[in-house]
Amino acid sequence: MEARQVVVVVGGAVAGSEAAAMAADRGALVIVIEQNTRPYGKIEDGLPRWHAALRRKEYGRIDANLDHRDILFVPKTRLGEEVTLDELTQEHGVGTVILANGAWRDRHLGLPALDRFAGAGLIYQNALVRWFNHHLDPTWTGPCYALRDGAIVIGGGLASLDVAKILSLELYARALAARGIVVDTVEMEHSGIDKVLEEHGLTPEELGVRGCTLFYRRSAEEMPLATDADPSPERQARLAKTRVKILEKVMRRYFVGFEPNAVAAGVLVEDERLAGLVFRRTRTEDGRVVEIPGSEFEVRTEQVVSSIGSLPEPLPGVPMQRDVYAFRDWDTGELDAERGIFGLGNVLTGRGNIKESRQSARDVVRQLAERRHAETLEIDSASEEAHEAARREAQAVLDHALAHPPMAGAQVESLLAWVHKRWQEVGYDGNYAAWMDAHRPWDWDIAEG
Ligand SMILES: Cc1cc2nc3c(=O)[nH]c(=O)nc-3n(C[C@H](O)[C@H](O)[C@H](O)COP(=O)(O)OP(=O)(O)OC[C@H]3O[C@@H](n4cnc5c(N)ncnc54)[C@H](O)[C@@H]3O)c2cc1C
């Protein structure tokens, strides 16, 4: 076998599939290692399923990227379990590994006393949205959640609004069903819970629903729902107005409560069950959140959903700097150039490290999410922008990575032998389109519209 440039991409979603397609177009042989059956990442599990058209469009783009002669897709294979970084780089001699495995670990809420209620009294955002997107699938085997009326959401970013909406939609759908009124949560998202109740001549009080409340450590005007890298004072004022407008719409249409300037400071337990949280008031001083001593107050609740951000999962062999990967260069995504390890997309999560001017894929998706909440999102241009940004990011990595000497023929052969062995173990025959046809998401037809 001839010597060849080989690139291993870990994670096949938006960032990974763009990098894979570009590397293949530049003549490399690309191996995409994906932990799941499908490579749709946060599109399938993080973008709420009421965005059916956007999700379907993204599925199509990822498929179009990965269905390529020189891309070998390896599903159901998790880096760190079925194969390690050391095996790839040392045993197989792979010169370039691109980590595009996203940010799937929820930031810890920081209330250790709450941890014992994990899975019932305490739910984290990533698991909740994944459940919401999948739980109607009769083949779903993941965790199931019994949502509690009066739940608290802790957060303040765009994802926390989705989480609050999910809770509200589910709670109201359940209360309506108890009255014999069957509504689809996705249809209710489109029309608004307020309209659905109006149609049936009902109020939240009549239904007996407390709903959920979002607790945020700052004010509504400070929520990171609409951002700008370097806003003028006028722009800053407009941003604050937009944030309040986005929040108020969610409160009005989905009956979500909001409690600003409050941080969770303690846990109330009664009879071994979660009974509530203690909050402390805050104020903002010079941009920083300051807790006000003696301002504690109790809130009764049986359930807390934490939505305070997602981080990349630690992987054996990947250096960490506190909670995030220790990138040597946040602009090029370089983790370790000698070993040929780079990162792309959501793995580049790290506060304040990325130059705003770089317009990383992460920043673009964030802006798109803002427009999605502000309902100014055009699907076609949104999707194009996100992929364009992912390509820009991948371009820099590939320029660096493909300058490596190619892999020796014998090494390529040994790596391909591993790929074929893995294919056999997971039942994949190398035909991407046929595999995806046989493993469509449960709501594929719904998404098609
Ligand atoms: C227009 C638009 C709007 C969006 N809006 C939102 C939004 O509001 N909310 C939201 O959550 N997302 C949203 N997204 C989706 C998501 O945030 C983006 O797609 C983002 O670009 C992340 O992509 P990624 O490829 O870096 O990560 P991910 O989509 O997370 O993909 C990572 C992939 O790596 C795989 N993986 C993880 N660990 C391993 C491992 N150890 N071994 C092998 N495989 C692994 C995962 O299974 C996954 O397929 C939006 C995307 C678009 C295009």
Q: Whose CA is nearest to atom 39 of ligand 1?
A: 101
Whole-number Å distance, alpha carbon 14 to ligand 1 midpoint, is 6
Decide if 41 contacts 104 (C-beta within 8 A).
no
Nearest CA to ligand 1 atom 17: 42
Q: How far is CA 135 from CA 67, 143, 305, 389, 443, in A?
A: 29, 9, 17, 32, 11
106-309, CATH topology level? FAD/NAD(P)-binding domain (3.50.50)
Q: What is the chain's mean pLDDT, rounded?
A: 92
What is the three-class DSSP state of 101? coil
Mutate to test the pocket of ligand 1, among 101, 308, 388 (most ligand atoms within 8 A of CB): 101
Ligand 1 atom nearest the C-alpha of 16 is 25
- Write the class of the CATH domain 6-104+312-448: alpha beta
Q: Which of 301, 402, 389 is nearest to 342 (CA)?
A: 402
Cα distances from 197 to residues 64, 147, 175, 305, 377, in angstroms, run 42, 20, 11, 25, 27
pLDDT of residue 227: 73
**Which residues line ligand 1 at a C-beta cut-off of 6 Å?**
10-16, 33-36, 39, 41-43, 46-47, 54, 58, 78-80, 100-102, 104, 159, 315, 345-346, 361, 365, 368-369, 372, 382-383, 386
Taking only the tens place, the pLDDT of each residue in 363-405 is 777 777 887 787 777 777 777 888 888 898 899 889 888 888 8
The strand pairing partners of 298, in sequence order, are 278
Report the interhelical angle of 233-254 vs 158-178 (nearest 10°).
Answer: 10
How far apart are alpha carbons 110 and 273 in whole angstroms? 19
For residue 337, the model assigns a pLDDT of 85
Q: What is the pLDDT of residues 67-117, one digit of tens each?
A: 999 999 999 999 999 999 999 999 999 999 999 999 999 999 999 999 999
Alpha helices (H) along 135-278 = 158-178, 185-191, 193-199, 204-207, 233-254
Parallel/antiparallel/unpaired status of strands 96-99 and 341-343:
parallel
pLDDT at 433: 98
Question: Ligand 1 pocket: which of 133, 166, 365, 384 to mutate (most atoms <8 Å of CB)?
Answer: 365
pLDDT of residue 358: 47
The Å distance, Cα 100 to ligand 1 centre, comes to 8
- In whole angstroms, give the CA distance from residue 214 to residue 256: 7
Where in 260-380 does DSSP place strands (E)?
262-270, 273-285, 288-291, 297-300, 304-307, 310-311, 320-321, 324-325, 334-336, 341-343
What atom of ligand 1 comes closest to residue 42's alpha carbon? 29
Atom of ligand 1 nearest to the CA of 347: 26
Question: Residue 448's pLDDT is what?
Answer: 57
Name the residue at shortest CA distance from atom 27 of ligand 1.
102
Confidence (pLDDT) at 259: 98
Sheet holding 304-307, edge to edge: 122-124, 304-307, 152-155, 213-215, 257-259
* Nearest atom (ligand 1) to Cα of 38: 49
Low-confidence ranges of the chain (pLDDT < 50): 351-358
What is the predicted pLDDT for the residue at 235? 82
How far is Cα 100 from Cα 82, in angstroms, rounded to an integer? 17
Q: Quote the longest CA-to-CA distance of the chain.
A: 74
Domain 106-309 in the same topology as domain 6-104+312-448: no
CA distance 365 to 382: 8
Query: What is the 5 CA–ligand 1 centroid distance (Å)?
Result: 26
| 133 Cα: distance to centroid of ligand 1 (angstroms) | 14
C-alpha 345 to ligand 1 mean position (Å): 8
Mutate to test the pocket of ligand 1, among 37, 43, 74, 373 (most ligand atoms within 8 A of CB): 43
Residue 17 in contact with residue 42, Cβ under 8 Å? no
CB atoms within 10 A of CB 199: 11
Q: For residue 46, report the distance from its CA to the centre of ligand 1, in Å.
A: 7
Gap from CA of 390 to ligand 1 centroid (Å): 11
What residue ranges in 75-222 does DSSP mark as E strands? Answer: 96-99, 105-106, 122-124, 152-155, 213-215
Separation CA 72–CA 314 (nearest Å): 25
Phi/psi for 294 (5° steps) reads 80, 5
Give residue 44's pLDDT.
97
Residue located via tokens 């390896």: 74
The residue whose CA has the least distance to atom 9 of ligand 1 is: 47
SS3 216: coil
Nearest CA owner, ligand 1 atom 8: 369
Q: Residue ranges of the domains in the chain?
A: 6-104+312-448, 106-309
Residue that has been written with the tokens 């005007």 in this structure: 221
* Residue 5: predicted pLDDT: 94
Distance of alpha carbon 414 from alpha carbon 147, whole angstroms: 50
Q: How far is the CA of 421 from the centre of ligand 1 (A)?
A: 27
User: Of the candidates 349, 326, 323, which has an alpha carbon nearest to the alpha carbon of residue 100?
Assistant: 349
